[in-house]
Each structure stands twice: as C-alpha cells, then as structure tokens.
Amino acid sequence: MKFPFFLLLSAICLSLMGLSARDRDERRPGRFVERGVVQSVQPEKKTLCAQATRVPALHGKSETQIRAFYFEKENDMLLMSSEAEEVGTFKIDRVTIAESTTLCGLFDLTETHIVSPGDLVGVELAPSTYKPQTQNGPPPILPPDRIRHEVDKKIMLRISWDYLVYGQGEDPTADNYNPHFFDRSPLVTPKIETFYMDQYEVTNREYLFFCKRAGHTIPEAWRITGQYPEGTGDHPFTLASFEDAQHYARWTGKRLPTEFEWELSARGGLKLLRNGSGVEGIKRSPPVYPMGQWSPDVCNTREMWNGEPRTISVFSLKDRSPYGIVGMCGSAAEWTSSWYNAYPGQTEFPENLSGQQFRVLRGGSFSQPRDFARTDSRDYGGLESPRSDRRGGIRLVLSAK
C-alpha cells in the first residue's frame, strides 16, 4: 500500500517539530554554549580574535542583526580552555563578517592561566523560568556539545540525530546516485542517531604516539628515521590502510564512521535544511561542500596549489562543516566502515566492485581535484593485501550514550 506523499512529508515535519522544544531544553542552568574558537592572541594587549561558531538563530539574518546579537545580547562571554576549564572572561568590541564571522575584543584571565589558539569563548545560559516536573519526568539532559576523549585526547563534537538526504539525484551512472534523492519520505530518508566525531583528522604526531604506545608498525616511509617528516607533526596522517585505521580505532575505543554518519557530519540533515522554514526548507537540497560554496582558498585540494600539492596543519584548515567539523573538504581521504555498494534502488553500479570487497573513503584529498571533495563523493579501498591497498586518513566517531 502506498501512502500519499503529503502524509509521508508530514510525518517527517512532525518529527522535526520537536527540535525547538529540544533546543529549549538545552537552555538549562550552568550550560556553557560555545560561540567561537580562539584563532589569535595578543597577550601584551590582552586582546584576542575568535572565529564564531554557527548560531542557528542567526541564519538568514542581516549583518546589522548579527552585530546587534553579539553587542547587545552576548557581549560578555566566558573564556574556556580546550580542556573545558573556565580561565577568564571575554568582552567583544569588534565583529567582522565575511565568509565567516570573527569576534575580537579584550580578555581578562583568572590566576595564572594563559590563552591559546583552540580555546573557546562562549556564554553560560542562565536558568530559565521554573518548569515543574511532569508525569513523564523532568526534561531530558542532552549529552554535551563537545567532549575530550580520554585515550587519544582529541576534541569530539556532537552531531545530533537527523534525517539524511544522501548522495545526488542527477546522474544515474555515478556511484553516488540516490534514486530517492528528491523524495523526503521517511521510508527512504535514513535517520542517523546522535554521535560524536573528531573535530580534526588524526595527525602524524598522534599516529606515531599510537604506534609507540600500542606497538603498531610505523609506516614504511618513516622507518629510516623512525619519525614523520620534520615540520609535519600537525599535518593529517594520510598513510593508513583500512587495517591501520581499524587498529587505531580499536586502540582508542572509538570506531570508524559509517559513510552516512560521515556525510551527515559534512553536509547536515533535514533539521538544518528546515531551520524554521517548514516544508519548503525540507525540499531544498543539502550543500555540496561542507562550508556551502566552493572556494579554492578554503579546501585543501589540488586547486589550492600552483605547484606540487601537499598537506598542511589540520589546525590551519579553513573549511568547517555545519557542525564545526574541520578538514572534510580535501586534506586526507577518510576511511569509513561501510562496504562500497550500490545505494538502495540504484541499478547502474559496477557488479565487479560490489559485495563485501571494498570500503568507502570520503572527503577527497590534497592531491585530488575538487569533485572528490564533494560531500556526496565516494571512493573505495580496503584490499586484503595492505601493501597494495589504498592509503587514507583517519577520523573517528563515538556513539552518544
């Protein structure tokens, strides 16, 4: 039996309508909400600049309205270390709006703390009016926006549950073709549960630490010196076979993302498309690149370089997904746990590549052109013989409890 499209669409809308109530529940006493990541510091002047993180309430607002928000509503902020320790205060005196928003101003530290790039500025939401407990119990306490993992010490950001519009619906001969791309029915739009994802890719320094700590074989290219190339400690590790990535994940206690988890983190889901606009918003297509519009100055793909392409520090990458994940556009191709197979309903997929043979890689790399860095682009590797296998990078996830 087939249900009318408008009924199926209504089902998704009703499910997403809970978002505003969920957002209100997040405004509980003492909750720190990140508003920016420190990019530069002038200690002698006691000034800093932070790249603002996405504020859903500011989507579609004019520059005047955005400035009014920061100057009038959230001018006085807290300063938090990357270890989630409150270290001082921050007062905004300048807001610059370009491709991204930058917040600059004076900071004041407590005791002997210092400020470093990567620290956070934000607000602590005050208690709202008292809400009596209902017969169903108190409002649920949502998991924190960010955590630091206890094993590899990496910052992980929360990716809230959502419905994913995956792939593309234009070219039926491509491996990322989704015949249901323009259909918003919950029967063909998978719901992805909440999880955490590493904000940055695993670096050379982090991978070498894992090799030494876990006794894992270091990459062949490093064996002469026993080290990664000088000056590349913060560059993304790009030499992992699928087996290497699996070993690293097991050592941390985390896991590789599925390709749908990866794609949701890179482009967002229906809740972001809706964003207060109801059914019309749901009909929109998700972004093709993590930061929205393509820019050769933002994504580390072949187009960024006049000469030989190369990796750069993960902390200097400029692309950010809607959730704040960095480096999903180029940089290092990232392993997922998913088998490389046709999407449901896809008929023109190479039979010799299907089945449980290859794993999906996502995100493109510094040496590949921009089309590989699309949020819907798929690549594959994972041969049983690691020496002849494709190499890639590592970014892990952790299911929310």
74 CB-near residues (< 8 Å, 6+ apart)? 35, 92, 123
- Segment of 58-72, 76-90, 183-197 carrying the highest mean pLDDT: 183-197
Task: Give span(s): CATH 2.40.30, the chain.
Answer: 18-125
Binning pLDDT at 50, 70 and 90, where does residue 334 land? very high
Q: What is the architecture of the domain spanning 146-399? A: Alpha-Beta Complex (3.90)
CATH of domain 18-125: 2.40.30
Assess whether pLDDT exceeds 50 at residue 21. Answer: no
Task: Give span(s): CATH 3.90.1580.10, the chain.
Answer: 146-399
Q: Return d(Cα 323, Cα 94) in angstroms, integer.
A: 24
Pick the more confident residue, 228 or 25.
228
Express each pLDDT in 202-256 by its tens digit: 999 999 999 999 999 999 999 999 999 999 999 999 999 999 999 999 999 999 9
pTM here is 0.68
What does the buried/exposed string (b/e) look like for 274-303 if buried means 16 or more CB atoms within 10 Å of the residue's CB? Answer: bbeeeeebbeeebbbbbbeebbeebbbbbb
Tokens for 236, please give them: 């993304």
Express each pLDDT in 336-388 by its tens digit: 999 999 999 999 998 888 888 899 999 999 999 999 999 999 999 987 655 66
Express each pLDDT in 126-145 by its tens digit: 544 334 444 455 555 667 88
- Segment of 58-72, 122-136, 294-308 carrying the highest mean pLDDT: 294-308
From the number of C-beta atoms within 10 Å of its C-beta (0-12, 13-18, 19+), residue 70 rates as buried
